[in-house]
Structure 1
Amino acid sequence: MTASDVRNRLLDAVSRASGASSDYDLNPNVVLPAGRVLRPAGVLVPFVVEDGEVRVVLTKRSSALKHHPGQVAFPGGKVDAGDDGPVGAALREAEEEVGLPRESVEVLGELPSHETVTGFRVTPVLGWIERPFIPRPEPGEVEEVFTVPFDHLADPSRYTIQSRRWRGMHRFYYALPFGPYYVWGATARMLRGLCERLAQ
């Protein structure tokens, strides 16, 4: 499959209608508080072309961070007052966290929002990057930047459902192992949602 074929598949995927996802999708017995307020956020799902192969850029968060230390995540964060919504937040954060110039990103579209257990409504923004860029991890936030082949994340058989104890109960979640990296939780759920759209 050529890079152009992958780009067309991604464009087709973001055009499909579907509902929002949640960290609670695999935990239907969790009762969420009525009237909860979710904070808007945006993450960039950056697809880069490397030697003709399409790969998605992911980060490993700094182990010194207070929240989610060492976890694999997309570049992104909460929507600030000066951002142009979730897309603006995703592009700004990608530039700050991994040194990806926003002018190098072609925004292909957005996926439905994803609710996290930490109280965010995250909008995944698909970005296409034709020109190579050298990642520059922000030392205070990002420990490592790595890429995963498109074929790996687009294969439903690569995703597993796992569980662990969290706040006194068993919580189930998606995981997408890749070599030494353990992609799980919200990041894996958003990729799983994209995978489902790609398979339609």
Structure 2
Amino acid sequence: MEHPKQFFREAFRYSDIELYLEGPLKYSELQFYSFHTDLTSFRPATLQKKALLEISELPEGRINVIRHKDMIVGYVTFVYPDPLERWSEGKMEDLIELGAIEIAPEYRAKGLGKELLRLSMKDKAMENYIIITTEYYWHWDLKGSGLDVWEYRKVMEKMMNAGGLTWFATDDPEISSHPANCLMARIGKNVSQASIEAFDQLRFVNRFMY
């Protein structure tokens, strides 16, 4: 069961320019915005915009952005977990994944990622979901940030904490493959105990690791 998407928009000053935090965006809104050319953490900017357009058409897909005039300079996506990942095996309708978050380099280090997640959780529908994010160090911009893996991990944790996501233990092989990788999650107020227990079962397939 998908839940209605409540649109938000907030304006604020960044240096000497005005930015907007808004979302979730529909395809019809997203297609008319340009995409900052340095949003390339996952793929070239033109292909990433195409990926976001595809997500915007998914029933559960949520895309929230930071916008300067008509240009997107940051975004976060929420989707069902990839069918090839453990987190989809429970076929839970109330478990979604923070699939990607990215801020253009020139707009970083100003807390915009935290603001984007804070905005995202204003949507009351989010209280009906377990929201997860799987953090892998090989996705992090260590070179561009100048941080080592543990410094970057701390930055990521603080940003996710702003959206209410906290660390959860798991025996997932990919996450366990490096100590800097982690699973973080936010359990909404309306999530049932049965869903919480199902999530626990997904976190630990090898029960002896409890």
What is the TM-score when the length of structure 1 is the normalising length?
A: 0.26
- Pick the structure with greater CA Rg: 2
User: Greater helix percent: which structure?
Assistant: 2
User: Greater strand percent: which structure?
Assistant: 1
What is the TM-score when the length of structure 2 is the normalising length?
A: 0.25
